[in-house]
Amino acid sequence: MTLLHIENLSLSISGTPILKDISFSLEEGRILGVIGESGSGKSMTAFAIMQLMPSGASTTGQLLVDGLDTLNASENELCKMRGNDVSIVFQEPMTALNPLKNIGEQVAECIMIHEPQTPRGEALNRARSALERCELPESRFPLSLYPHELSGGQRQRVVIALAIALRPKLLIADEPTTALDVTTQAEILTLLRRLVQEDGMGLLLITHDLAVVADMADDIVIMKDGEIVESGDTAFVFQRMQHPYTRALYEASGHIPERTPTQSMSPILSVKEVVRDYRLPRKKLFAAPEHFRAVDGASFEIFKGESLGLVGESGCGKSTLTRAILGLEAVQGGEIRLNDAPIGPGHTMGPEIRSKMQAVFQDPYGSFNPRHRVDRLISEPLHLLDSPPAGSERSDVISNALREVGLSAEDQFKYIHEFSGGQRQRIAIARALIIQPDLILLDEATSALDVSIRAQILDLLAELAASHGLTYLFISHDLSVVRSITDRVLVMKSGKIVEEGATDQVLSQPKNEYTKTLIDAAPMLP
């Protein structure tokens, strides 16, 4: 029987069209992948199915959920449907749970709402077994735990537990693993697959990641700007790739920029036995505070002209190490040297050393002071020079930097909000380039971008490395990006570097157990 039937659905919010004439359907026991980049309307489709749309939304067309016409259903009917027949798992597990209620209560609430005659103890028992099905056994995860006591992946399991507590017929998962690490992502996807099999639910899996759906979905729908561009059986769609957008998306996902690796044996940066301890808040009033070792004896070198990857999951210490290398934080042991000069916060590091190293950060929106114009933004590092260029010399330097990253000289007179995410990341690269550094740290610099934009930025980085003889330290959680742009790679876990070697070799024949787990967990395109 058809579980979800959408026909000619259009949706607009305050007059702006978001969805245009969408049609697809989903049968019981099947997994349908909905793929699209940001702004494609894929999440809004999920909200429309649940009828949890922002105010000002209006819809036309037909939307049948297990026979119920949700566009015309009463609020009462919808409340009965939500959580009972249809459940949803959202992207952000860190904020999806009420911080003030324990996990047992939150899962049991689902049951008590839909079956009010259930005694509390009975509801808690059922909550317990739902959590157990989601691999949160009571022995290790008692119902009395609060969300803040769980990791992101564990919280997502709680969200899934409350979604499946009443064994719904349809489960919607909206980017359920985007906020999670790759190994956690693999576990959550396996869990979802198992639940679909056990309960015979239909699963609507919404994601931006082609590789995730390729692994899991029976059918896929590819969306762009609120329209469906291609749909059908997964294997068939991947084989045929009829629509140019599908092809572009596919190519961008596995894009490898052209680069010529340069071999050099002169180290530009050396990290020796670096240790970084954090003091934890006191647990007891009069006890000495405990310490957390974020970086634990890390050692490596970066050679001139190479591109080195640093891979690890969240909390592995790679961000801390990055800040230490940038000379923003003191280290408790070991030393970091750039061009043989010591690195450290404050006066340890003169401007002439600092000017040899720049960074590009993850968030294209948070990386710029919104009150400054682009010329001021990208010329900030010039502050490190003894006599910064002024007047026409300054505007030449700025125009040049902008042109090098594929923007126009005119863009220096604009403010940052006038640019898209990809353009902002180009501006961030221009800011790093302007002082002609030897080494650029790219801290998750492409992680926040859509795949097609990411491919363009990777190309730009490869080009600049060739033309300027730049050295990169590429910090990322994303193996596919590291694979495409680095010569060597370091794998970091719990503050230690557990494996090091040529990228191709490490990724194809990992020696370390953890590296193997990472590689196995990463979803692959067919």
Closest separation between CB of residue 380 and another protein, Å? 5
Instruction: Give the β-pairing of 488-493 and 307-311.
Output: parallel
Site for another protein in 361-380 (CB under 8 A): 361-363, 366-371, 380
State yes or no: residue 358 binds another protein (CB under 8 A).
yes
Nearer to another protein, 160 or 214 (CB): 160
Closest separation between CB of residue 50 and another protein, Å? 6
Q: What x-and-dash track marks residues 67-106 binding another protein by CB under 8 A?
A: --------x---xxxxxx--xx-x-x--xxxxxxxx----
Closest separation between CB of residue 437 and another protein, Å? 10
Site for another protein in 48-67 (CB under 8 A): 50, 52
Question: What is the distance between the alpha carbons of residues 127 and 149, in angstroms, rounded to a whole number?
Answer: 18
Task: Please identify which residue in 7, 8, 148, 504 interacts with another protein, judged by CB under 8 A.
Answer: 148
Nearer to another protein, 261 or 342 (CB): 342
Site for another protein in 308-337 (CB under 8 A): 326, 328
Nearer to another protein, 75 or 258 (CB): 75
Give just the sign of the alpha carbon dihedral 319, 321, 327, 333: positive
Dihedral in degrees, nearest 10, Cα atoms 108, 110, 116, 120: 0
Closest separation between CB of residue 442 and another protein, Å? 13
Question: What is the distance between the alpha carbons of residues 509 and 507, in angstroms, rounded to a whole number?
Answer: 6
Nearer to another protein, 222 or 336 (CB): 336
Question: What is the total count of residues that contact another protein (CB under 8 A)?
Answer: 58
Question: What is the distance between the alpha carbons of residues 139 and 226, in angstroms, rounded to a whole number?
Answer: 46
Q: Is 413 helix (H, G, I), strand (E, B) or coil?
A: helix
Closest separation between CB of residue 18 and another protein, Å? 17
Closest separation between CB of residue 149 and another protein, Å? 7
Task: Estimate the crossing angle of helix 152-164 against helix 103-114, to 10 degrees.
Answer: 20
Nearer to another protein, 253 or 367 (CB): 367
Closest separation between CB of residue 344 and another protein, Å? 13
Closest separation between CB of residue 247 and another protein, Å? 34
Task: Please identify which residue in 208, 224, 255, 354 interacts with another protein, judged by CB under 8 A.
Answer: 354
> Measuring CA to CA, which residue among 482, 435, 179, 173 is closest to residue 312?
482
Site for another protein in 381-420 (CB under 8 A): 381, 383-384
Tokens linked to 304: 């001139």
Closest separation between CB of residue 249 and another protein, Å? 28
Question: What is the distance between the alpha carbons of residues 430 and 190, in angstroms, rounded to a whole number?
Answer: 42
Q: What x-and-dash track marks residues 423-462 binding another protein by CB under 8 A?
A: -----x--x-------------------------------
Closest separation between CB of residue 496 and another protein, Å? 25
Question: What is the distance between the alpha carbons of residues 232 and 65, in angstroms, rounded to a whole number?
Answer: 20
Q: Is 407 helix (H, G, I), strand (E, B) or coil?
A: coil
> Measuring CA to CA, which residue among 89, 85, 106, 105 is closest to residue 97?
106
Q: Is 187 helix (H, G, I), strand (E, B) or coil?
A: helix
| DSSP states along 340-361 | TEE--SGGGS-HHHHTTEEEE-
Q: What x-and-dash track marks residues 260-299 binding another protein by CB under 8 A?
A: ---------------------x-xxx--------------
DSSP letter at 470 equals -
Closest separation between CB of residue 328 and another protein, Å? 5
Distances (CA, A) of 72 to 51, 59, 77, 95, 405: 10, 10, 10, 31, 51
How much of the chain is helix, strand and coil, in % rounded to 5?
40, 25, 35
Nearer to another protein, 120 or 511 (CB): 120
> Measuring CA to CA, which residue among 408, 393, 395, 472 is closest to residue 440?
472
Query: Which residues of this chain interact with another protein, rule CB under 8 A?
Result: 50, 52, 75, 79-84, 87-88, 90, 92, 95-102, 109-110, 113-114, 146, 148-149, 159, 162-163, 281, 283-285, 326, 328, 351, 354-355, 357-359, 361-363, 366-371, 380-381, 383-384, 428, 431
